[in-house]
Amino acid sequence: MKKVTAATIATIGFATFGLMHGDAEASEGIQPSAYTTTFSEETNDYITIDAHGNYHHTIDGNWDVSMFEQGLYQSSYTDASGHMHYVYYTQTFQNDNSDTPSQSHEAIQAQNRNNQSQYNASQAYTQSQGNWHVNATDQTGNGTQGGRTASYGMSQQQSGGNAQQNHDGTSNTSQAASGWLKKYPKWQPYGQYTTGGAHYGVDYGMPENTPVYSFTDGKVIDSGWSNYGGGNQITIQEANSNYYQWYMHMNQLNVQAGDTVKKGQQIGLSGSTGNSTGPHLHFQRMSGGIGNQYAVNPDNYLANQ
C-alpha cells in the first residue's frame, strides 16, 4: 500500500562548503548535483538523498545543499543500515505526549520504527463487587518524543504477556453503546497536571482489557507500538475532516493502518503499556495535524458521544 512519488529538485551549484554543525562531518564533501526528492508514505515526509547517501528530511521537499552547509537541520540520527538522516524541522521533547509540544507528524513517522515493546506493569486498581478504584495516569519521567506508532502486524511482547494485534482483513463489528466512556472516571483532565506541566489529552481509569471503541467514523492512520510513551497506540483521522485522534496504552489492537472504522466499532482493549502508572486510556484529539502542538480540548467532543 506504500506509494512513492518522485519530484526532481533542480541542480544547485556551490563552490565551497563551510560546515557549521557538529554532525556535519558525516557528509563533508557533498558535491553540487541534481538531487531527486521523493515523498514516501512510510515516513510521511520528503527525503532528499545526497551524493554520499545521506538522507535529508523536509516537510515540503525543498532541500538544497546550503541548508546543510548552514547547519539548518534540527536533529540527526543513524538508521539500522548506517545511513545518516538530517531532519530540517523542529522536534521537541515531551513526556508521554503529556508535558511539552511533540514532534510534528512527519518527524514521528520518520523516526519511530522500533517494534520492541516496553511495558510498565505497575497497576493500582482493585475490583470487587463491580466497584473498582484506579490510580492511573500518564507517567512523567525522562523526556521522550511524541509518538507515532510502529508498523502493524506483530504481537508486542510485554513482561511475559502479549499485546495482541488482531486483524483478519475483515472489520471488527463489535459496537459500543452510546456514551460508553462516561461510566469510567476521568483521572487526569486536559490542560495541566496538578504537579505542573501540560497534559494534552484526557485520562480515563479503567481495568485492563476493557473494550475500547472508536469515537468517530474515519481512517486508521497508524496502529502499533510507540517508542515515545504511548505504548500500543492507535491514530485515527476523523472522516471528512482534519481532526485526528490518539488512543494510547492499549493491550490489544484490533485495527491496522489503512482500515476504515465506524463510530462505536471496537478497536482494541485498554491497558497500561508504555509510560503509564496504571491501567487507563489516554485519549487525545488534534486539529490540523498529529502531535501535541495540534492538541485541542476534547471535553465538549466527548460529552456529545
Task: Answer yes or no: do 285 and 217 share one domain.
Answer: yes
What is the residue range of 296's domain?
A: 116-303
If one compares 102 and 11, the residue with the highest pLDDT of the two is 102
Residue with cell 511482547: 157
Residue 200 CB: number of other CB atoms within 10 A? Answer: 29
Task: Assign residue 148 the CATH number of its domain.
Answer: 2.70.70.10
Same domain assignment for residues 293 and 187: yes
pLDDT tens-digit map of 172-211: 446 666 789 988 998 889 987 666 678 899 999 999 999 9
Residue 55 included in any domain: yes
Q: Which of 68, 87, 106 is the last residue of a domain?
A: 87
Q: Are residues 156 and 212 both part of a single domain?
A: yes
| Among 34, 66, 87, residue at a domain's last position | 87
Is residue 111 a part of any domain in this protein?
A: no
pLDDT of 113 higher than 90: no
CA distances from 153 to 33, 156, 169, 279 (A): 39, 9, 12, 24
pLDDT (tens digit per residue) in 27-73: 344 444 568 889 866 667 789 998 888 888 888 888 888 888 888 88
- Tell whether 99 is covered by a domain: no
Nearest to 214, CA basis, from 286, 263, 268? 263
H or E segment to which residue 58 belongs: strand 55-58
12 within some domain: yes
Same domain as 205, residue 143: yes
pTM for the structure as a whole: 0.52
Tell me how many domains the chain contains: 2
- From residue 64, give the alpha-carbon distance in Å to each of 30, 40, 141: 11, 19, 38
Residue 243 lies in a domain: yes
For the cut 70, the answer to whether the pLDDT of residue 116 exceeds it is no
pLDDT of residue 33: 55
Query: What is the tens place of the pLDDT at every residue in 132-164?
Result: 333 344 543 333 333 333 333 333 333 333 445
Any idea what the CATH number is for the domain that residue 38 is in? 2.40.50.290
Question: Average model confidence (pLDDT) for the chain?
Answer: 69
